[in-house]
Each structure stands twice: as structure tokens, then as C-alpha cells.
Amino acid sequence: MAKIIGLTGGIGSGKTTIANYLASLKIPVYIADDAGKKVMQKPEIIDAIREKFGDGIIEENQLNRAKLAEIVFKDPEQLKILNSIVHPAVKEDFKDWLNKHRDADYVVYESAILFESGNYKNFDVIMTVTAPLETRIARVLQRDNTSREQVLNRINSQWTDEQRVAKSDFVIENIEIGLAKQKIDEILKILSINQ
């Protein structure tokens, strides 16, 4: 069975860039956020979310993710409720995906909330991607149609870099991508993953 590398980092840290680099090295990568978006389109998940958050977050039988984000990233209790609906569905989806990649030496599970979800306990190795706060904010503002306040709400709903680093096996500082890739190559050598 494949060993699982948990890859995490706060919003804007560049963990998806790191995940893409790992994928380019032929290591299977599961992006939990993409899986979450996919499972949130399932009718039974939409119904469960509608039941908890009301009809205001539904437009043309689809979730209005922006409205939902506005609610959950301001209120930790609401975020817990949403996660209690979505996380079990993502867990099942990952089990199916892992089964398809069971012959790989290692696979990567990328998630911003690896620690918050408790999922990290299921993995063999944890890598955390870090970047300075202002760099992270600038990246998200450039990437998403959002405000600084909304980015800070999301950052504040997640663990701090210090909390993540304390529980991680490896830390990748992602300020300059060339140096970050070099660090990953070093980690892969330590893990003896053939490139």
C-alpha cells in the first residue's frame, strides 16, 4: 500500500504550486479542496448544506460558494457545521482514489486544513508549506476575486504556521519557487522516492 504524504499550508502559501511540482515528478497527488468542490455538487450534499444554511445559499439548484464562504469564514461554528457535512464525503472520495493508486510508493494528500480536520493522524509524513503573511495575502488577492478582509478571515479560521510547523516532519518555505523545489528534492531524497 502507498505511503501517504500530507501536504498542508495556509491559504496563499503556495501549496498547490508545490503539489503541482510533486505531480510533475510522477507522484500521485490528491487535492482535497478540488475533491470538496466536486462532492459539494452532489445533490445529497447540496440538500444537507441547504438544510443547515437555508435557501439563500442556493442559486439554480447549485451552491453559491461565495455566499457560503462569507458565512462560514466569519463564524467558526458555522464552518464546523459545513465541515461535518463535506469532510466525510471527501474521506470516502479519497479512499476510492487511494485504492486506484495503491501500487505507488508514495501519494500526496494536499489540504489547507490537514490539522484542523484531524486527518493528519492518518498520514505517514507531513510537509508544511510556509510563506510570509503579506506574500500570502498578495497571492490570494491576485488569484481570487476577493478582499483583504475576506482573505484575513480565512487565514484566521486556519491554524497558524507555528502550529502547523510544530506537528510537521518537513517545512518548505515558499518565497522563491526555485528554492522551494530544491527543498522538495532534498526531502524526496530523504524519503528515498525515485525521481
Q: CB–CB of 49/68 below 8 Å?
A: yes
- 9 annotated to bind ligand: no
- 74 annotated to bind ligand: no
Q: What is the per-residue DSSP string for 9-21? A: E-TTS-HHHHHHH
- 12 annotated to bind ligand: yes
Strands in 60-152 per DSSP E: 62-63, 106-110, 125-130
Buried-exposed string 8-47: b where 16+ CB fall within 10 A, e elsewhere? bbbbbbbbbebbebbeeeebbbbbbeebbeebbeeeebbe
- 128 annotated to bind ligand: no
Q: CB–CB of 116/158 below 8 Å?
A: yes
End-to-end CA distance of the chain: 19
- 13 annotated to bind ligand: yes
- 24 annotated to bind ligand: no
Query: 76: number of CA atoms within 13 Å, CB side?
Result: 7
Q: How far apart are CA 92 and CA 72, in angstroms?
A: 23
Which residue ranges are tagged as binding site for ATP? 12-17
Which residue ranges are tagged as binding site? 12-17
